[in-house]
Amino acid sequence: MKLTFDYLEDYWSNIVYVGVAITGDGGNNYSSIWELQTSGNSGPEEITVNFTGIDNMQIALYYLGDANDIDFWYVDDVTLMDMDAVPVELTSFTASASNGSVELNWTTATETNNKGFEIQRSAEKNKETEWEKIGFVDGGGTSSKSASYSFTDRNIKSGKYSYRLKQVDFNGSFEYSKVVQTEVTAPAEFSLKQNYPNPFNPSTKISFSLPQDSRVTLNVFNVLGQKVSPVINGNISAGEKEITFDASRLTSGIYFYRIDAVSVDGKKFTSAKKMILTK
């Protein structure tokens, strides 16, 4: 068990003792677990006492000495914690891959002092496992109710991945969850999807698929065929991709976006779609 509290002893005269004791028989017998001899004002101070709990335990805060020898003993922010208890009871943790993203879902039965969950990922590259932080989800503090959480890892390369949760308490202590694994597969063919939302203002998402690593250009044109905005020009890894196009500097109207891709083995792909900007 761990007991934490703040105290301030307002001294009057002579020597007095302040302390903490525990009993397991309803107060017939007490055992002191912390005691301080004072001959002057003491505190304010935070005290932490570690001890082994007993059945039917009760805690007493006490002082010893003549009542005239002490004015007040102030005690505040009392916390008692079972150090053997699991701070967060995780009941499930799953990972599923779809369209170049991995959806993580987990649930808790109870939570104690839970600041949140750091999401960590490891790619299957070599025999050594190297974890990287990819996000953080706030926890529920202290709760006896079941809670559900989710996190989406987007736009990742094809391959096998492992995920784990680093549950962090407000005091900085942490525990790791079990490791879950999934595989992101490359799409079977090139494709360019309709932007969403459409019509839009002022930004929209454009998605496309690459079965292999490719050299990609993606540009936006007006109805006269004039290029009004370059979006992508570079090498892109295989997989499902999603980018956000910001058209805040363009006027309302009809536009076209076109992708030109050349894969590492020389395959070419070109596609264009219409989108509508409404301001």
Length of the chain equals 279
pTM of the model: 0.56
Percent of the chain clearing pLDDT 90 (strictly above): 59
- Do the first three CATH levels of 88-184 and 191-277 match, i.e. the same topology? yes
The pairing of beta strand 31-38 with beta strand 16-23: antiparallel
pLDDT confidence of residue 171: 85
Q: Which fold has domain 88-184?
A: Immunoglobulin-like (2.60.40)
Where in the chain are the domains? 2-81, 88-184, 191-277
Summarised one tens digit per residue, pLDDT across range 47-60 is 888 888 787 889 99
What is residue 196's DSSP assignment? Answer: B
Q: Is the distance from CB of 165 to CB of 121 less than 8 angstroms?
A: no
Summarised one tens digit per residue, pLDDT across range 69-89 is 778 889 998 888 776 655 788
pLDDT confidence of residue 259: 98
- What mean pLDDT, rounded, does the chain reach? 90
Cα-based torsion angle of the residue sequence 39, 44, 46, 50 in order, rounded to the nearest 10 degrees: 20
Summarised one tens digit per residue, pLDDT across range 166-186 is 999 988 889 999 999 999 888
Question: In terms of C-beta distances under 8 Å and separation of at least 24 residues, what long-range contacts does 173-179 make, across chains too?
Answer: 173/87, 174/118, 175/86, 175/87, 175/88, 177/90, 177/93, 177/106, 178/93
What is residue 67's DSSP assignment? Answer: G
What is residue 65's DSSP assignment? Answer: S
Q: Decide: helix, strand or coil at residue 68.
A: helix
- The CATH class of the 191-277 domain is mainly beta
